Structure 1
Amino acid sequence: MKKRLLLSLLGLLLVVGILAGIKGLQIFKMVKSGKSFTPPPETVTTAQPHPESWEATLPAVGSLEAVQGVTVAAELPGKVTRLAFTPGTWIKAGSLLLQQDTSSEKAQLQAAEAEAALAKANFERLRLLIETNAVSKAAYDDGEAKFKQAMAQADTIRAAIAKKTILAPFSGRLGIRLVNLGQSLKEGEPIVSLQAMDPMFINFMLPQQELARVKPGLPVRITSDALPGRTVAGKITAINPQADSATRNVRVQATAANKDERLRPGMFATVAVVLPGKTQVLAIPATAVLPAPYGDSVFVVEERQEEKSGKTGLVVRQQFVRLGESRGDFVAVLSGLEDGATVVSTGVFKLRNGQQVVIDNALNPKFSLNPTPDNS
């Protein structure tokens, strides 16, 4: 019985040993094959850096402001007896906007004019009498003062009537009406907004170190989401003589035409100040750049001979670069790359330094300085 058990145990150990040997041989072959395995080349698209002349611009974000804009308000308290404007329409300077009740002032004016007429008649008589020394100089001066006081009182009432006849101070576009017929207005209560929107001001800030490059008359390009696909041309008309002490920025004002009144006061817009002359840059597609916290880099495609086979193939070399401004689909390279090199233009995130590649530019996208995406 013991002999049979011993033989069974030996047989089992023999089987386990054979299986372990076979498995170990398989693992050894896999490791050896893995060391000699060469991954297939990665298919990439490429582009060549090329020198270009770019306009030198200063970007900024600004706010639009009407050349003339005001909220028309009541100067004196009074009841609204007439509304003479239509909200949202264009109106000329001097046109009637609103009439307040002036019945009391008109009655007072009649009395004041009567007093002024009497004071004038008395003064005229005194002037004739003083020529013959029939009255004293004091009586003459008193009559003259009363005449002037009566005239001033009448002018005061006329001014009150004029203030209750509210006219447009300048030509422009009216806003939404803020009062109703029959409403009793208080002093300073708003009536309607009036904005002269052609041309328009755009105010923006520039850093103090850029002030030496900016002067009145320089052209600017204005873009806004209110004008998709359009660029409005303008020019710098004023530069604030004082810088902001908190930000060290200088306020600049440009003026642009706005005949269709698509730009409205209070909107924000993007501004590009066009500087004189052009800048020579080495441009590459922005998709060729692999951003990283420690520095931006590109993959340069080079020919390299394999040590084992002696064959020549294409490999990529990671090259760190210093970038400048972006323009459309391109970005300027300030240093780290030479003209004539070939860089991978898309899919750089899947590459590693020294990896073999194959170039296939059939699917290479078209890069442009002024791209127009289909969904814009």
Structure 2
Amino acid sequence: MLKKFLLLLTAFVMVTLVLGAAKANQIKKLAAAPRTMPPAGVAATAARSEEWRSTLHAIGTLAPVAGMTIAADADGIVVRVAAENGAAVRAGDLLVELDSSVEVAQRESARARAELARVNITRQEELWQRKAIAKVEYDTAVAARKQAEADVAALDAVIAKKQVRAPFAGRAGLRLVNPGQYVGRGAPLLPLQQLDPMYVNFSIPQRHLPDLALGRKVALRVDAFPEAAYAGEITAINATVDAATRNITVQATVANPGEKLRAGMFVRVEVELPESMPVIVVPATAVAYAPYGNSIFIVEKMKGPDGQEYLGVRQQFVEVSTHRGDLVAIKGAVKPGEQVVTAGVFKLRNGAPVQVNNAGQPAASANPRPTNS
């Protein structure tokens, strides 16, 4: 019995040793095999050379070429609001009419006195020529006629003040008074804005003052109309620099034929400078930003330690000079046509193997538009 037990134990030990040796051999082979990471999936695009015209970017506000809130020039009760809310009006059109019935009656009385004075002066002149009256009587008649005519002119002026008319062509806003309402002198009646053309006022840092000039072209973009681009030109530069911000205010004029732009709108302004420069352009997603320096990864054929060729990436440090939409201009040892990683940048290192799959290529445009705009 003991003999059988020893034989079984010996066999078990032998099998265990054989299996252990085989497993150790497998582990040794795995340890000796080269450790290579699987290729990382990335998207890539070619760096390209472009001519970018230098521009200055600013935030501006639209203002009317002519705009005001029409105010009453006399006291009275509103009898009619002739201009509808939002209506286009021409210069001289009646906007608001105040009650002038008393003045109209007084003017008729003054006209009667003026007519009588003209008749009297004719009679007095005949008598004076025949020396039938004294010179003072004739002079009194002349003065009476002039006074009567002045009274008529004064009442005409008062009545005209109670007929508020548009001082320029434009578009009326929402009225601030209603028929039957009493208004005092200086009370606001309704806004009036001339919307074509329009001014855009914006500020530029003082260091860019040498780049500004009258007639310089500007491009405007408004969030309300993201697909539309409005062109204008600089028509005025402020004479002083703001001492608090060290910015100078600039005014440009832009055409607004459809009157889509309205006063007070927020706009983005680009001032086109005359000089242009050649730049290497890549998508902004291609740049890996880091405290020690920004870099991009260039896809190219590489050789591994075993001499085998594979598709890998080379890290290239660059300097970002300017932005334009989703694109950036870079300075560094990057040539046009080189494939640059645009997606998956942050999981790469120098020499890492990659597999290019452009199905997930991010959009890159100089004038991007949100999909929900």
Report the TM range for the smaller structure's normalisation. Answer: 0.7 to 0.9
Q: Is the 8 A contact 1:78 1:184 kept in 2?
A: yes
Within a 5 Å distance, the mapping from 1:89-100 to structure 2 comes to: 89-100=87-98
Contact 2:38 2:353 in 1 (8 A): yes
Distance 1:166 1:114, change over 3 A: same
Structure 2 CA distance, aligned partners of 1:366 and 1:114? 82
2:330 is the counterpart of 1:333: yes
1:95 aligned partner, one-letter code: D
Match for residue 14 of structure 1? none
Give the secondary structure class of the aligned counterpart of 1:194.
strand
Under a length normalisation based on structure 2, what TM-score does the superposition of the two structures give? 0.80
CA distance in 2, matches of 1:176, 1:289: 51
> CA shift at 1:373, angstroms?
5.6
Judged with a 3 Å threshold, the aligned counterparts in structure 2 of structure 1 residues 91 and 340 are, in CA distance, closer, same or farther, namely closer
Give matches, 1:16-27, under 5 Å.
none
2:232 paired residue among 210, 234, 241? 234
Given that residues 80 and 98 in structure 1 are in contact (C-alpha distance below 8 angstroms), is that contact kept between their aligned partners in structure 2? yes
User: Partner letter of residue 214 of structure 2?
Assistant: P
Amino acid at match of 1:210: H
In the alignment, is residue 347 of structure 1 matched against residue 344 of structure 2?
A: yes
Per-residue deviation, residues 217-270 of structure 1 (Å, max 9, x unmatched): 222221112223111222222222222222222222222221211111111111
- Conserved 8 A contact 1:300-1:318: yes
What are the residue-to-residue correspondences of 1:183-202 with 2, within 5 Å? 183-202=181-200
Aligned mates of 2:130, 2:44 — CA distance in 1: 108
**Equivalent of residue 167 in structure 1, options 165, 168, 174:** 165
Distance in structure 1 (CA, Å) of the matches to 2:107 and 2:126? 26
Residue 109 of structure 1 aligns to a residue in which SS? helix
2:222–2:268 contact (8 Å) kept in structure 1: yes
**Aligned residue-pair number:** 351
Question: 1:1-376 alignment to 2 at 5 Å?
Answer: 33=31, 37-113=35-111, 121=120, 125=124, 151-307=149-305, 309-335=306-332, 337-339=334-336, 341-361=338-358, 363-365=360-362, 367-371=364-368, 374-376=371-373
What is the CA–CA distance in structure 2 between the aligned matches of 1:205 and 1:100, rounded to whole Å?
43
Conserved? CA contact 1:127–1:140, under 8 Å: no
Instruction: Judge conservation of contact 1:226–1:263 (CA < 8 Å) in 2.
Output: no
Q: Secondary structure at the match of 1:345?
A: strand
Which position in structure 1 is the counterpart of 2:8? none
Distance 2:289 2:335 in 1: 19
Report the CA distance shift for 1:177/1:364 in structure 2 as closer, same or farther (over 3 A). Answer: closer
Report the CA distance shift for 1:70/1:362 in structure 2 as closer, same or farther (over 3 A): closer
Cα contact 1:322–1:336 (8 A) shared by 2 = no
Could you say which residue in structure 1 is the equivalent of 2:13?
none
Q: Out of 287-296 and 63-72, give the one that drifted further.
A: 287-296
* Distance apart, 1:364 and its partner CA: 3.6
Q: 1:208 to 1:124 in 2, by over 3 A?
A: farther
With over 3 angstroms needed to count, the CA separation of the structure-2 counterparts of 1:80 and 1:366, relative to structure 1, is: closer
Instruction: Give the TM-score normalised by the residue count of structure 1.
Output: 0.79
User: How much has 1:294 moved relative to structure 2?
Assistant: 4.5
Structure 2: tracts of 5 or more residues without a match = 1-15
Distance 1:123 1:290, change over 3 A: farther
TM-align CA RMSD: 3.6
d(CA) in 2 for partners of 1:375, 1:46:
26
Give the letter aligned to residue 237 of structure 2: I
Q: Distance in 2 between matches of 1:116 and 1:342?
A: 94
Residue 5 of structure 2 corresponds to: none
- Consecutive unaligned residues of structure 1, counting only runs of 5 or more, are 1-17
- Alpha-carbon distance, 1:271 to partner: 1.6
SS in 2 for 1:178: coil
CA distance in 1, matches of 2:32, 2:126: 127
How big is the shift at 1:163? 0.4
